Amino acid sequence: MNTPFAQRRRALLSRLAKSRLGCLLVTRPANWYYLTGFTGESGALVVSRRGTTLITDGRFTAQARAEISGVRIVQQKGSLVAAVGEFLKGAGNVGFDASHVTVAQRAALRGAGGRRVRWVPSAGHVEELRSRKDPQELAKMRLAAILAGKVLEGALKMLKPGVRELEIAAEIEYQMRHLGASGPAFETIVAFGERSAYPHARATAKRLRKNELVVLDLGAILSHYCSDITRTVVVGRASTKIRQWHKSVQEAQAAAIGAVRAGASCGEVDAAARTVLAGHRLDRYFVHSTGHGLGLEVHEDPRVAKGQKQTLEPGNVVTIEPGVYVPGVGGIRIEDDVAVHASNTEVLTRIPRDLIEI
Amino acid sequence: MNTPFAQRRRALLSRLAKSRLGCLLVTRPANWYYLTGFTGESGALVVSRRGTTLITDGRFTAQARAEISGVRIVQQKGSLVAAVGEFLKGAGNVGFDASHVTVAQRAALRGAGGRRVRWVPSAGHVEELRSRKDPQELAKMRLAAILAGKVLEGALKMLKPGVRELEIAAEIEYQMRHLGASGPAFETIVAFGERSAYPHARATAKRLRKNELVVLDLGAILSHYCSDITRTVVVGRASTKIRQWHKSVQEAQAAAIGAVRAGASCGEVDAAARTVLAGHRLDRYFVHSTGHGLGLEVHEDPRVAKGQKQTLEPGNVVTIEPGVYVPGVGGIRIEDDVAVHASNTEVLTRIPRDLIEI
């Protein structure tokens, strides 16, 4: 049995052996998919040298049997945490993800597991493996990125005065699925006019007016992997100020993409964007980080943020998405997905970045 | 200032006064929306007699200022938990939601808050208020339920041999938005044939064949409130066995809806469905609970599950959704949304429940 899932479980076990954890409790859905291929919505995976066990409820056991191999499946009777605690009785050191397990869940695990389990906070084991994509994963991410670009280009053609943000969002998500995506990677952002100054604006019934800014930020899930792309355009004519801002953001993004390479720290990449914007006196309008890792989840390691010391490695895929947001006026963001290779970087999202006036 | 949001904050403060909590830290997005109208994706709300404060990051401060009134807005500098801990220094007893705050977050809160804060696990304060919908909320939920019914009826018309699960899911979510929804309340379930035996099947590229079972389970978010409806049909002719199963599920659902009334326990309602299925020797195929509360979130209090002692109250809205799932054959589920009033119950989703053969 040498599926990618089995290989990943072996890689995880090598890590665990070094950390002296007998067992790892895997609670995040993206992590259990990565290790087994199970796509159910509820469950927990226990990985140990003695084998891997999925504990889940009656809604998902038939699905689990169809989806996974080489993993024992246990159907919980009562609550998930009670079943997991019971299963792990006497297991010794058990690692768990303190950034995912809630205070109430840990209390229940402790109660059910009894005295002979020591719960050890140990985040990041699976996430670190996931952050280095293998060639098959990169191939899927390329396709997800191309799909997002196509959908974005299609949406631009629908922009005309009078159209509503919600209509564009609906069309975007429909087209994604039409092209084979299982769905959006996150709630599609469509923001017109002043609303573009909200970096994470939810689409509303607002209608587009002439000469307004439009921010489209969308991503698709294709074969389980996410893409994430943003473009900013104007329907009509852009003012001189808007053109200057757009040019500055484009320049900041190019600088950050240029800084992406194996061995660079995430903080350096973030600083590359921030320095360009500071040169245009726009840094105070850049209110978020430069980017984030992308893969099975739309936000994962590594984080491309101010001061981050973590270095980029081959196989990382990150977004690079600087923006400026001026309350009462509007916002501009440009975002692409970038893969880090040993000796070069590869931009996965390949549609033009210029300010388009439609 | 007497917005519904301000009224809810006052109701919460009365509860807190009885519980001797000086302060409540509100971390769930649905809870902070309920109390303030803030729709941002990241933040934390601190509610105390001295006023309410929203702590959020630069992506959401402009949006918060536009959306909320009577609430102080603080922009965090570093991480959210560090900012919250810092803000609460010396605050005494602070309630937090142990079923939402992670082990890592509590550790960070403790570090930043210092010794003069006592973190008290205290879940359910806002959830209990939310479980009793006021007339304005019920009006919104009626519209969300009607919208879901319309979309489901539209989707039935698209079912014909050869169509893919993903196409139907895409059309469903497109039509929701076309009718004004901000999006789906959860990932739309479209399951054909044997896949209908997975209660939470994700739509795939599978094509529909003649005489296969089809389970459609969908919900829309309209004006922030969720709906949730399921129907099971056959494209072609149903076997005698399928007809019998469908009739049994329909009978079980009618019994459970009949058991819904103010004062009944959730466990009684669940038992009403389970008893009917047991009478048909189908109870072992009913692998989940009978229903769940519905509102700003698609799963909220009260839970309609085996043995639940909680009693139904006027203003509760719950789903009633028994099902039978036979591995290798298929599944049948029928789901409606039911509001509890003082002297009657109201089914919000009003489309026919019979087994349709298309």
Q: What is the pLDDT of residue B358?
A: 86
pLDDT in tens, A302-341: 999 999 999 999 999 999 999 999 988 999 999 999 999 9
Query: Which residues in chain B come in under a pLDDT of 50?
Result: none
Tokens of A190: 């469509």
Nearest to A179 by CA among A216, A132, A147: A147
Best residue in B177, B221, B274, B308 for a mutation probing chain A (most A CBs within 10 Å): B177
Note whether B326 contacts A: Cβ–Cβ < 8 A: no
DSSP-assigned beta bridge partners for residue A191:
A215
**Would the CB atoms of B103 and A101 count as touching at under 8 Å?**
yes
Nearest to A106 by CA among B95, B108, B96, B98: B98
Please check the confidence at residue A286 and state whether its pLDDT lies above 80: yes
**Would the CB atoms of A174 and B173 count as touching at under 8 Å?**
yes
Give residue A178's identity as a one-letter amino acid code: H
Nearest CA in chain B to A78: B306
Place of tokens 């729709």: B39
Q: What is the pLDDT of residue B77?
A: 87
ipTM of the complex in this document: 0.86
Q: What is the pLDDT of residue B1?
A: 64
Q: What is the pLDDT of residue B201?
A: 84
B283 DSSP 8-state letter: G
Note whether B223 contacts A: Cβ–Cβ < 8 A: no
Nearest CA in chain A to B287: A58
Length of chain A: 358
B323 DSSP 8-state letter: E
- CA separation, residue B124 to residues A107, B33, B151, B305, B337 (Å): 17, 15, 33, 18, 22
From the list A100, A202, A327, the residue facing B39 with the nearest CB is A202
Whether residue A161 is preceded by a cis peptide bond, meaning omega within 30 degrees of 0, is: no
Q: Residue B176 contacts by C-beta under 8 Å, 6 or more apart in sequence?
A: A170, B147, B148, B151, B183, B184, B218, B220
Please check the confidence at residue A222 and state whether its pLDDT lies above 80: yes
From the list B59, B203, B288, the residue facing A200 with the nearest CB is B59
Question: Beta strand pairing status for A23-26 and A92-96?
Answer: parallel
The number of beta carbons lying within 10 Å of the beta carbon of residue A50 is: 11
Strand order across the B23-26 sheet = B72-75, B51-56, B44-48, B23-26, B92-96, B117-121
Residue A143: CA count within 13 A, CB half-sphere: 14
Burial class (CB in 10 A: 0-12, 13-18, 19+), A247: middle
The number of beta carbons lying within 10 Å of the beta carbon of residue A283 is: 18
Note whether A63 contacts B: Cβ–Cβ < 8 A: yes
SS3 label, residue A26:
strand
Q: What is the pLDDT of residue B214?
A: 97
CB B203 within 8 Å of CB B167: no
A250 DSSP 8-state letter: H
**Would the CB atoms of A182 and B170 count as touching at under 8 Å?**
no
pLDDT in tens, A333-352: 999 999 999 999 999 999 99
From the list B62, B182, B197, the residue facing A198 with the nearest CB is B62
Please check the confidence at residue A1 and state whether its pLDDT lies above 70: no
Q: What is the pLDDT of residue A307?
A: 95
Note whether A186 contacts B: Cβ–Cβ < 8 A: no
Note whether A40 contacts B: Cβ–Cβ < 8 A: yes
Distance between B77 CA and the closest CA of chain A, angstroms? 10
What is the mean pLDDT of the segment spanning A47-60? 94
Q: What is the pLDDT of residue A297?
A: 98
Mark out the alpha helices in A159-291 (DSSP H runs): 165-178, 240-259, 266-279
- pLDDT tier, A46 (very low <50, low <70, confident <90, very high otherwise): very high
Tokens of A52: 């891997």
- Residue ranges and CATH numbers for the domains of chain A are 4-130 (3.40.350.10), 132-347 (3.90.230.10)
Whether residue B322 is preceded by a cis peptide bond, meaning omega within 30 degrees of 0, is: no
Backbone phi, then psi, for A217, in 5-degree steps? -130, 115
* CA–CA separation, A126 and A142 (whole Å): 22
